[in-house]
Amino acid sequence: MSVTTGTLAVPGATLHYQVRGTGPVLLISQSGEGDADRSNDLVVPLVDSFTVVTYDRRGLSRSRLDDPGRGVTMAEHADDVHRLLAALTDAPALMLGCSLGAVIGLHVAVAHPEQIRTLVAHEPVAPRLLPDDRRARHEHELAELQDLYLRAGLAATLPEIASTLGIDPAGTDREPDLTPQPMTAQRVTNFDHFIRHDFTAIVHDTLDTAALRGVSTRIVPATGRTTPRTVFDRLAAAALATLIGRELREAPGGHNGNTTHPRAYARWLREILDPADHPAGACPEPDKSVDLDPRSGWTVIA
């Protein structure tokens, strides 16, 4: 399977992205510190039916910030997706957003609904979807996690983040033969950016939740089958379903089911994103009017 890699200059950053497969364009916006490579096990079973686009969010791995010390907003993340899709296809795309990626997708659905035909929003970490008392509680919870990280470091913070999201770090419920995800120096750096800057972006998010009711994008709220019903991310997914009057769909695994159960997750995703129901969007060479980084451009890796 060949992988086409590229870079796209956007305001304040240069994005790294990867394109694989054939068929309608499916953009995957990963959760947490995950970059374009984190979705590999999920992408492989999808590429025979979809042109799958993955990318490093600004500030992660190969997506460099012009000012590394500057923070980021959810609106900027959403604008990055808008620009990336505009560079790759003229047709409405499909999108899977996981956790933070789901919030990005919701922003794009409000600002540019014509770009996304269907958005699968898996457990969006969006306190704004919750009633005011719960919203304040979970925004405070995220701020406390950020403070813990700054005081005590990553090793002390990861278990608390996992608990907040209903993840069992020692859990053995996962598919066999998954690509190893060791805690490399790059992952540590990505976690640092995620907790320092993306947590702040979530707490200060400006998502227009009321506008979600009227968007033309088909939004599919989703949660993991094993995600506890009382945790923040599951409550946000349920609140989204209620807000837009849609069924809350249950995906294989828990909060990170796309990485712990990628094959089952891909089968589940196919049932929602049936290519027969969506006209194939071409994924041509990037529009030359878009400012692609001349140092890298496109590279095909066999």
Torsion of CA 168, 171, 173, 176, to 10 degrees: 130
CB 214 within 8 A of CB 189: no
Cα–Cα distances (Å) from 49 to 21, 23, 44, 258, 284, in that order, read 7, 5, 10, 18, 17
Domains assigned to the chain: 3-301 (3.40.50.1820)
Task: Please enumerate in sequence order all residues whose Cβ is within 8 A of that of 57, keeping only pairs 6 or more positions apart, or say none.
Answer: 29, 30, 35, 63, 77, 80, 100, 198
Return the ∠ at Cα 247 (arms to 241 and 253), rounded to 5°: 90
User: In this predicted structure, what is the pLDDT of residue 291?
Assistant: 34
Type of residue found at 125: V
Task: Name which of 194, 26, 210 is nearest 106 in CA terms.
Answer: 210
| Token reading at 9 | 């200059």
> What does each of the 302 residues of the chain score in pLDDT, given as a tens digit?
689 999 999 999 999 999 999 999 999 999 888 888 888 999 999 999 999 999 999 998 999 999 988 889 999 999 999 999 999 999 999 999 999 999 999 999 999 999 999 999 999 999 999 999 999 999 999 999 999 999 999 999 999 999 988 888 777 688 788 888 889 999 999 999 999 999 999 999 999 999 999 999 999 999 999 999 999 999 999 999 999 999 999 999 989 889 899 999 999 999 998 745 444 433 434 333 333 333 234 333 32
In terms of Cα–Cα distance, which of 138, 178, 184 is closest to 161?
A: 138
pLDDT for the residue numbered 295: 29
- Asked whether 14 and 7 are in contact (CB, 8 A), the reply is yes
